[in-house]
Amino acid sequence: QVQLVESGGGLAQPGGSLRLSCAASGFTFSSYAMSWARQVPGKGLEWVSGIYSDGSVTYYADSVKGRFTISRDNAKNTLYLQMNNLKPEDTALYFCAKALDSMGSRWYQALYEYDFWGQGTQVTVSS
């Protein structure tokens, strides 16, 4: 069965860095686009970043552009999110999500365009 397991969250100071990982199994990882999203209790889901199945195209929310980098290692079935220059407003529960397909010409940002999600990893940015 499909599994997505996030790790790497934790407490970081403002200006610090964290790297999130999402270990995928149960499907052909290299055939599907992936995204990271985050949620703060009481607020809506925010799409953070997306990446094509082959890693050739990446997308970022304006709020993280220039600070976060999404990548993937298809040989290791793993998705990453390198987060630098963290800000308190980055505090959230971060999820990785598997897209329905390779994500042709745009970044999927609707829930129905994803069929599997991880359980989330908490990122807290505070001094």
Cα 45 → chain centroid: 12
Q: Name residue 95's beta-bridge partners.
A: 37
* Residue with token string 């009481």: 42
Per-residue pLDDT of the chain (127 residues; tens, 9 = 90+): 999 999 999 999 999 999 999 999 999 999 999 999 999 989 999 999 999 999 999 999 999 999 999 999 999 999 999 999 999 999 999 999 999 988 878 899 999 999 999 999 999 999 9
Mode of pairing for the β-strands spanning 78-83 and 18-25 = antiparallel
